[in-house]
């Protein structure tokens, strides 16, 4: 992505829909291209052992999980199917225990990942770094997540390199912003790049809250966490109105970020 602020406006023929199984391959291509050279991926993977096939298999598993347990939106232009992908996990009250269904879905995901690892190996994933990142992320979230109703968590946002800077990312994010704002629930994300992403997300009303430094002694990676506050709900209603939303998710973090790469 260019560092200068682009001026092109969103394509008027842009179509946004929920991800369908038939879209998965095109969505993965967009994700892999958008995350080429991503600093977090460079830190967590040994690039010499990186396997695009494994990455494709991994993303397929996670997208199928996300279709059931999260909310995945894709943007289509007349020229390109799945020019953009946004994956969200809906809010879950911070003190709520996982349900049996959450538990079952986690196990299904785990078994599918086990099958993938058996078939493809780790594909260059540096497992110690992965756990270091998870630990740092968990500490950070427990310090900055203060909203009792939870957060809409954007696990992944990727716009095809040919389509960046044209307003597609913002339009794609707006799908969930509208739901979150109506519920009075904030949104959350972690970006692997300060420049230019923090500025881009500020244009979407996120504010920078903290960074997560993951350092294993041989290399550091920093992730930048940002929150988009919900506007005050008119008429003095509080966030409990979110119960009426039809768009509730499981609130699980599916660790999709390290898979969103290409060698």
Q: Tell me how many degrees the CA angle 184-201-132 measures, rounded to the nearest 5.
A: 90
Residues that bind ligand COA (CB under 6 A): 1-3, 5-6, 34-35, 157-159, 164-170, 189, 191-193, 196-197, 199-200, 203
How many CB atoms sit inside 10 A of residue 138's CB?
Answer: 12
Closest CB to ligand COA among 105 and 192?
192
Closest CB to ligand COA among 66 and 184?
66
Closest CB to ligand COA among 30 and 242?
30
Q: Are 208 and 198 in contact (CB under 8 A)?
A: yes
CA 222 – CA 42 distance, rounded (Å): 12
SS3 percent helix, strand, coil of the chain, rounded to 5, is 45, 20, 35
Shortest distance, position 78 Cβ to ligand COA, whole Å: 16
Shortest distance, position 163 Cβ to ligand COA, whole Å: 7
Tokens representing 200 are: 């881009």
Closest CB to ligand COA among 57 and 168?
168
Q: How many CA atoms lie within 13 A of 52 on its CB side?
A: 10
Residue nearest to ligand COA (CB): 169
Shortest distance, position 157 Cβ to ligand COA, whole Å: 4
Shortest distance, position 158 Cβ to ligand COA, whole Å: 5
């Amino acid at each position: 992505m260019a560092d200068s602020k682009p001026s092109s406006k969103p394509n008027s023929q842009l179509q946004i829909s929920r991800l369908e199984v038939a879209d998965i391959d095109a969505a993965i291509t967009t994700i892999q291209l958008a995350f080429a050279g991503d600093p977090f991926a460079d830190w967590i993977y040994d690039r010499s052992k990186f396997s695009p096939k494994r990455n494709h298999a991994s993303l397929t598993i996670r997208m199928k999980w996300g279709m059931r347990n999260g909310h995945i939106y894709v943007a289509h232009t007349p020229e390109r199917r799945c020019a953009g992908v946004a994956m969200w996990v809906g809010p879950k009250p911070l003190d709520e225990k996982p349900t049996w269904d959450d538990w079952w879905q986690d196990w299904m995901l785990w078994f599918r990942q086990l099958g993938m690892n058996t078939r493809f190996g780790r594909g260059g994933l540096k497992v110690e770094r992965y756990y270091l990142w998870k630990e740092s992320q968990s500490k950070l979230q427990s310090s900055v997540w203060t909203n009792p109703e939870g957060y809409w968590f954007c696990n992944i946002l990727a716009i095809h390199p040919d389509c960046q800077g044209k307003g597609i990312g913002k339009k794609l994010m707006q799908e969930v912003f509208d739901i979150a704002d109506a519920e009075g629930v904030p949104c959350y994300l972690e970006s692997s790049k300060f420049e230019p992403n923090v500025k881009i997300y500020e244009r979407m009303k996120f504010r920078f809250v903290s960074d997560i430094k993951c350092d294993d002694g041989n290399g550091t990676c920093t992730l930048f966490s940002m929150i988009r506050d919900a506007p005050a709900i008119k008429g003095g209603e509080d966030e409990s109105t979110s119960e009426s939303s039809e768009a509730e998710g499981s609130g699980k973090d599916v660790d999709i970020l390290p898979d969103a790469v290409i060698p």
